[in-house]
Structures are given as C-alpha cells and as structure tokens.
Amino acid sequence: MSLFPDFEYSRIFPAIDLRGGRFVRLVEGRRDAEIHYGDDPVAVALGWVEQGAECLHIIDLGAAFGEEDSAGVILDIAARVDVPVQTGGGIRDAEAVSRFLDGGIARVLLGTRAFKDPDFLAREVERYGESRVVACLDTRDDQVQVAGWEEESGLDLAAGIDLVRGAGVRRLLVTATDRDGTLSGPRVELVERVLSEGDIRVIAAGGIGSLADVDSLLSLSHPLLEGVVVGRALYEGTVALDSAVELARERGEGVS
C-alpha cells in the first residue's frame, strides 16, 4: 500500500471519475451531463502514473448517486499503481471505509454521511487517523452540498468547517461545484477563504481548464495547500500533466 507522504509542495491530483465501472466526467456534477471518456479506467490510471502522476484522485459517481458502485475497479487500480490513491463517492458507513483503507487505498473522502452524522466522522478519524480521512467540502453559493451534490446540507461554509474540525478532521477537499467539469477556472477566493482558517490542509478542486488556472492556485504559495485536482482539462488536452507537475514543483520551492 502506498500512503501519502508529508508534502513539501502542492501536488497535482489527476482525477478519475467512475460510473458503473466506466470512466466519465460530469459537468457541475449533474448526472444528466455526463461525458463518457472510456471503459478502461485501470489503463487510464496506469497511464497517468507513467506520465509522472504522484498520486491519484478517484471518485465513484455511481455510488454517490446510489447506483452500482465501482469499488472493485478502484481497489484494482490501487493494487496496480505505485502511487497513493484517495477515493470518495458514496462512502457512507464504517464497512465501506474499512474496505478501502484496509484494501490498499491511502485515503477516503467522506461527504454526505460526514455532514449528516459528525459522530461517524469523528469515529473514523479516531480509528484511522487524520492523515487517512478527508472531509469533502462541496460548496455552491456558500452552502455545503451532499448526496451527490443534489441536496443542501443546511450548513454554510463556516458551519461546515467548524463541524469537520470538531470531528478531528485536518484535511479538506474543497470543491466549487458550480465550476466542476466546466473548464471555466477555479474559485480562488473560496480556496483562500478556507486556507485562512490556518489549521486545515486543503486540496482544491473544480474548474481547472488551463495551466494558468493551476497556477492561479499554486501561486497562493500557501503551506497548507496540499494539492490541486485536475480532471476534464487533462482529458480534453488543455492541461498537460507533466507541465502541471513541473509547475507545482517550481512553485513549491521556497514555500514553508
């Protein structure tokens, strides 16, 4: 099993989204706005690693929507690559957490159940440690979204951060859901706002469409910015993985 090291600079997380075992992307997370990229996600994962990926970000969209899950495919990828894998989407009970974290996945990403049941989140953090449990702060119009981004949690951004912090979480995946899969640029101000909390590491997602978009986040030069998720831009060819990885390393020089 490959675990995440202590990052000395922000990493690029190539995203692989699965639905029914197929490799897809959604626009703004809408299940009716699917782009189908292929049927061999294992080959895609191996390809990214060959091109220099230092980690992988895999989301099970089907499981998030209550459809057939792709857990077997995800575990197969983790067994066949030599970089750490984080995964989320529909992980809503302790058994699912165990299946992944005991099965070769480095980190789980918890969203819906975490915000509906913070005691569950706290138990999983205590069981596996804060380095292996990430909370998904999926936001639109300052509101935290759950259930595959189809429901409001009733929490605004500040309340969501307070909830996960109280459960012992020290790492967030922060996604601007209105930008996800759109290639229209990240919400840099959202990422800055969460980083300003000063005690939670952040992986930023949503909207990356160009290398300049990647740089707009990396240029924050914040020691708590752990990485940037890049998805559709890699598959549409508007961002080259090797260029993004090189840029991350360059921007990481001197960040303390």
Residues near 6 by beta carbon (within 8 Å), at least 6 away in sequence: none
**Nearest C-alpha neighbor of 4 from the set 119, 78, 83:** 83
- CA torsion, points 171, 105, 231, 71, in degrees to nearest 10? -120
CATH 3.20.20.70 fits 11-251, yes or no: yes
Q: Tens digit of pLDDT for each residue in 23-82?
A: 765 554 455 555 666 679 999 999 999 999 999 999 998 888 888 899 999 999 999 999
Catalytic site residue from 60, 69, 138, 213: 138
Q: Is the pLDDT of residue 132 over 60?
A: yes
Whether the CB-CB separation of 182 and 176 falls below 8 Å is answered with no
Known catalytic membership, residue 119: no
CB-CB neighbours of 142 under 10 Å: 12
pLDDT, tens digit, 9 for 90 and up, residues 77-129 = 999 999 999 999 999 999 999 999 999 999 999 998 999 999 999 999 999 99
Q: Which of 17, 60, 180, 213 is catalytic?
A: 17
Residue type, 158: A
What does the pLDDT look like over 223-251, one tens digit per residue? 999 999 999 999 989 999 999 999 999 99
Q: Residue 61: its pLDDT value, please?
A: 87
Query: Alpha-carbon distance 125 to 128, whole Å?
Result: 5
Q: What is the pLDDT of residues 217-230, one digit of tens each?
A: 999 999 999 999 99
Helix pair 118-128, 157-166: axis angle to 10 deg: 50
Which pLDDT value is given to residue 149?
60
Residue 188 banded pLDDT, cuts 50, 70, 90? very high
Neighbour-count burial for 115-137, b at 16+ CB within 10 Å, e otherwise = beebebbbbbbeebeeebbbbbb
- Return the pLDDT at 42: 94
d(CA 246, CA 67) in angstroms, rounded, equals 37
Q: How far apart are CA 111 and CA 99, in angstroms?
A: 17
Helix 41-50, helix 71-80: angle, nearest 10: 30
Tokens 């996600």 sit on residue: 41
What residue segments make up the domains of the chain, in order of their start?
Answer: 11-251
Confidence at residue 28, expressed as pLDDT on a 0 to 100 scale: 46
Q: Mean pLDDT over residues 149-170, rounded? A: 88
Assign residue 21 a region: left if phi > 0, alpha if psi is -120 to 50, beta otherwise?
left
Annotated active-site residue 17? The verdict is: yes
